């Protein structure tokens, strides 16, 4: 179940940004959600999917003029939040959905970079070229994850992966309308942060185009825990066992 409060700011935005909707899934992000939304609204329309937060996240978003808010009665984690945001974007006629983090690890000032990417790209990955405060262990983990998932996205019997997407584990992305339609109509098996991996797999295996843009990433704290690791390993196994799955 969900309830939503819909607004659409009047007037156009530069560089066609009125065609884009920033999608922000949020759970207990009262400390940062206000700044994220206000800064993102400078560049594009924003929808926050308040994923059954127990703090003032939803209340803060509702108080911001021009922001859209979808309220979940139960927590659906990253997949439910992003997919509901995509459904809203499709219903409202947006051409692109830009998914970003609610905790300020993604810089709202990078939104124009996504909109400047070639319009025909179905997925534009925010490639983290500048990673402030990120521990070396996370750099290494991200690099290893990209290598493994590039292989699993398009498995082959040779050791080297056939696809070489950069920064596969980055969740800051632009999705085209065609890609959003694909994802919301697909039977996805992700549970949490593995959504970004499965979404890229669906795009690749269905022949959609993928590119990237450089972004700044600010490490604000680790979301890595036992559940996230297990979900990531589970998704890796599913991708390898069922390489033709769509």
Question: What are the pLDDT digits (tens) for 68-97?
Answer: 999 999 999 999 999 999 999 999 999 999
What pTM was computed for the model?
0.86
Of the listed ranges 49-53, 202-206, 210-214, 216-220, the least confidently predicted one is 216-220
Does residue 188 or residue 145 have the better pLDDT?
188
Whole-number pLDDT of residue 235: 84
For residue 219, pLDDT over 80 is answered with no
Residue 130 lies in a domain: yes
Q: Give me the chain's average pLDDT, please.
A: 86
Whole-number pLDDT of residue 138: 65
Mean pLDDT over 126-135 rounds to 75
Residue 48 lies in a domain: yes
Using H for helix, E for strand and C for coil, what is the string for 172-207? CEEEEHHHHHHHHCCCCCCCCCCHHHHHHHHHHHCC
Mean pLDDT over 30-59 rounds to 98
The enclosing domain of 136 has a CATH number of 3.90.550.10
Residues 235, 189: Cα–Cα separation, whole Å? 8
Mean pLDDT over 158-163 rounds to 59
Mean pLDDT over 173-183 rounds to 98
Whole-number pLDDT of residue 10: 42
Which has the closest alpha carbon to 203: 230, 163, 238?
163
Of the listed ranges 5-9, 45-49, 77-81, 234-238, the least confidently predicted one is 5-9
234-243 confidence digits (pLDDT tens): 888 888 887 6
| Count of other CB atoms within 10 angstroms of residue 21 | 26
Using H for helix, E for strand and C for coil, what is the string for the chain? CEEEECCCCCCCCHHHHHHEEEEEEECCCCCCHHHHHHHHHCCCEEEEEEECCCCCHHHHHHCCCCEEEEEECCCCHHHHHHHHHHHHHHHCCCCEEEECCCCCCECHHHHHHHHHCCCCCCEEEEEEEEEECCCHHHHHHHHHHHHHHHHHHCCCCCCCCCCCCCCCCCCCEEEEHHHHHHHHCCCCCCCCCCHHHHHHHHHHHCCCCEEEEEEEEECCCCCCCHHHHHHHHHHHHHHHHCCCCC
- Report residue 87 as tokens: 């459904």
Mean pLDDT over 221-242 rounds to 75
Confidence category of residue 135, pLDDT binned at 50, 70, 90:
low
Residue 246 lies in a domain: no
**Residue range of the domain that includes 124:** 2-241
Which has the closest alpha carbon to 16: 107, 123, 116, 89?
116
Q: What are the two backbone dihedrals, phi and then psi, of residue 98, each rounded to the nearest 5 degrees?
A: -110, 110
* Total domains in the fold of the chain: 1
Residue 55 lies in a domain: yes
- Report residue 43 as tokens: 């560049």
For residue 12, pLDDT over 60 is answered with no
Whole-number pLDDT of residue 5: 46
């Amino acid at each position: 179940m969900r309830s939503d409060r819909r607004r659409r700011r009047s007037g156009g935005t530069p560089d066609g940004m009125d065609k884009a909707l920033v999608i922000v899934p949020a759970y207990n992000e009262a400390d940062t959600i206000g700044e994220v939304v206000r800064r993102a609204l400078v560049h594009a329309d924003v929808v926050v999917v308040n994923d059954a937060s127990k703090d003032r996240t939803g209340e803060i978003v509702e108080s911001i003029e021009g922001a859209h808010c979808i309220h979940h009665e139960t927590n659906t984690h990253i997949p439910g939040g992003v997919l509901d945001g995509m459904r809203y974007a499709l219903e409202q006629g947006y051409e692109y959905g830009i998914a970003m983090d609610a905790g300020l690890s993604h810089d709202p000032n990078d939104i124009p970079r996504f909109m400047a990417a070639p319009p025909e790209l179905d997925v534009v990955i925010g490639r983290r070229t500048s990673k402030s405060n990120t521990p070396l262990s996370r750099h290494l983990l991200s690099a290893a994850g990209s290598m493994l998932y590039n292989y699993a996205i398009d498995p082959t019997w040779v050791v080297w992966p056939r696809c070489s997407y950069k920064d596969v584990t980055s969740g800051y992305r632009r999705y085209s309308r065609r890609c959003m339609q694909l994802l919301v109509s697909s039977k996805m098996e992700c549970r949490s942060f593995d959504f970004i991996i499965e979404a890229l797999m669906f795009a690749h295996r269905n022949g959609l185009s993928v590119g990237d843009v450089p972004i700044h990433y600010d490490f604000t704290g680790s979301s890595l825990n036992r559940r996230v690791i297990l979900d990531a390993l589970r998704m890796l196994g599913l991708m390898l066992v069922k390489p033709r799955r769509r």
